[in-house]
Structure 1
Amino acid sequence: MKKIFVIIFISIIFLGSSNFINKADAKEITNLQWKKSVAKGKKLTKFRETVSSPALGEKAWKITLLPRDCGRDQDGDYSDCTNNGRDAVVGHGGGDRARSEYSAKPRYTGEKWISVSIFIPKDFKTVEPVSTSLFQIYEWGNTNQQRHPRMMLRVKRGNLEPRYFAVNGMDSQGLIYKHLKIDDMRDKWTTIIFHTKMSKDPNKGFIKMYVDDVLYNDYKGRTGYGGKFFNKFGIYHSWISRWNDEVHGEYPTQIVYYDNLFRTSSKEKLLKLIQN
């Protein structure tokens, strides 16, 4: 009986941690710990693959999102497939979404340097006007006001650009210095660096986006409501109902590769981790 109990206990630990990616298992890809986001019930449960090509070092992560492949939270009643009924606005109550996405631990506050390298295949097809995000800065706190994305790196009008949600429900494009075009990103790696200070003080907050040490986008102002923050990577679709099969054709599967998922307290520390 004692042996059976030990086996069951170990199994529970293993199953309970299977949604996590331990940073020790992928040091050259990330210095964070990642957990599947809203993934229970998805058709493709293993939507992340570790690959050796394309990769900036020995390994990278391949993320696949099947058409309309939605899931729900492991705990609670939030679902990407259906509205939970507590909010008449679908955008706040769930539904009309799909994702193959991971969320990071630990959560953080204050000023950080964050990197993500993205490889977009030649045959990548956009699903506009459906909203597609490939990376996020998200706030989490004790109030509904604090639980929102603050920056989503979105595919928009043929570009990959940050959209800011410093005030809930408001979408700002920031100050655009240069566009990052999807067509210029195909079949090669693009490394993006964010220098951020998350603050509810509009005189202190900012998010700056760099590619090859060139400033592409700059947002200054309130960047949060006093909660803690975390990052998300992967493919996230919202407002899927905007897609019309008769007009746009068959809804495509999307594949994106990721590397250099790092977060540090200084630019110098970040550059030491980034593989070119």
Structure 2
Amino acid sequence: MKKILLFFILSVISIQGFAASCADGNEPIKAVSADGSYYEYKCQENSRPNTGRLSGFRSLSTTSYGYKIVNDIVRAGKEAQRFEVRPGDCGEDQAWSDCNNNRERSEISLENHFFPGDNQWIAFSVFIPDNFKTSNSVSTTIGQIHQIGGPSGIAGSLPSFPPLIQLEAKGNNYRACIHILSGSDNNVVDECKYYNLSAISDMQGQWTDIQIHFDTTNNKSLIEVYLNNERKALLREFVNFWPKSYYIKYGIYRSFVSQHSGPMPTQVVWIDEVKMGKNQELVAINKATPVD
């Protein structure tokens, strides 16, 4: 009994000490690790009271320029989120190292999760500047649905925890990679089914509105991707492994960067109006109620 009481007291002290570690004095909130394999506690980065912005956390990246709330280029309202990744921008935590796994990023992971059996809509708008450069060999993910408790495997001789879908810039293409997973839970085979969404050159210098619909009610799997209200992708009955939950990541993420001939170019994007809802109307752009 004494041991149990001592453990409880130490746990409370530990939690209180950790809660005070946030710069704003608030308690950390449970979030997903960078590899999607476990939960951890982090301080909120991009949430602001009464703004409508969904709570989220920076994923690994800690550079001062990598993530900012700005008001120079916005889709609606007065503020947007600016992401920047420069060559060598790799971070790490206690369980994962981008530097050791050939990756670079500046992303936000949303705190909101959804689950198998849900009917979920996700939306965001992205601004790609005129001077945005891509690689013909390395994909830059600008928006993805990841999963926790899903299967794992090896990709390019490195550990892999496949997401559900990635929206990627490669060459002059912005495309959806819907991951088709087979094999076993701990040795998954991961193949992308690609859908072209737009030419990068057609997106530069203007906002592009993205919507993803993922319906898993009644044990089915249906996913749609819309670009500027036009459906560009539709796939049914493709999920072979059900995870514990799904979550959203957005920003800039690039993997296997050594495949590029030399350092990757510096990349900057603006993202605004990130929304989650149960129908398409709830995630549509509404300038009367912007996400700031």
TM-score range, shorter chain: 0.7 to 0.9
Aligned residues: 243
**Is 1:72 matched up with 2:118?**
no
1:20 positional shift: 1.7
1:22 positional shift: 5.1
Root-mean-square deviation (CA, aligned residues, Å) is: 2.9
Secondary structure class of the residue paired with 2:193: coil
1:100-119 Cα offsets, whole Å, 9 max, x none, are: 11111121112111101000
Separation of aligned partners in 2, 1:142 and 1:161: 23
- Counterpart pick for 2:83 among 59, 63, 81: 63
Query: Relative to structure 2, which stretch is displaced further, 182-191 or 138-147?
Result: 138-147
1:252 positional shift: 1.6
Separation of aligned partners in 2, 1:215 and 1:209: 6
Is contact 1:80–1:96 with CA below 8 Å preserved after alignment?
Answer: yes
The aligned residue for residue 27 of structure 1 is 51
The aligned residue for residue 51 of structure 1 is 70
The alpha-carbon distance between structure 1 residues 77 and 58, as it changes in their structure 2 partners (threshold 3 A), is: same
1:107-142 Cα offsets, whole Å, 9 max, x none, are: 111211110100000000002311210111001027
Secondary structure class of the residue paired with 1:172: strand
Separation of aligned partners in 2, 1:199 and 1:225: 15
Secondary structure class of the residue paired with 1:170: strand
Separation of aligned partners in 2, 1:232 and 1:193: 14
**Is 1:38 matched up with 2:65?**
no
Secondary structure class of the residue paired with 1:241: helix
Separation of aligned partners in 1, 2:90 and 2:217: 32
TM-score, length basis structure 1: 0.78
The alpha-carbon distance between structure 1 residues 125 and 157, as it changes in their structure 2 partners (threshold 3 A), is: closer
Separation of aligned partners in 1, 2:285 and 2:193: 30
The alpha-carbon distance between structure 1 residues 144 and 179, as it changes in their structure 2 partners (threshold 3 A), is: closer
1:189 positional shift: 0.3
Letter in 1 for 2:206: K
The alpha-carbon distance between structure 1 residues 142 and 124, as it changes in their structure 2 partners (threshold 3 A), is: closer
**Is 1:102 matched up with 2:111?**
no
The alpha-carbon distance between structure 1 residues 77 and 271, as it changes in their structure 2 partners (threshold 3 A), is: closer
Runs of at least 5 residues in structure 2 that lack an aligned partner in the other structure = 1-16, 29-41, 154-159, 182-187
Is contact 2:134–2:170 with CA below 8 Å preserved after alignment?
Answer: no
**Is 1:116 matched up with 2:120?**
no
TM-score, length basis structure 2: 0.74
Runs of at least 5 residues in structure 1 that lack an aligned partner in the other structure = 1-7, 83-94
Secondary structure class of the residue paired with 2:164: strand
Letter in 1 for 2:201: D
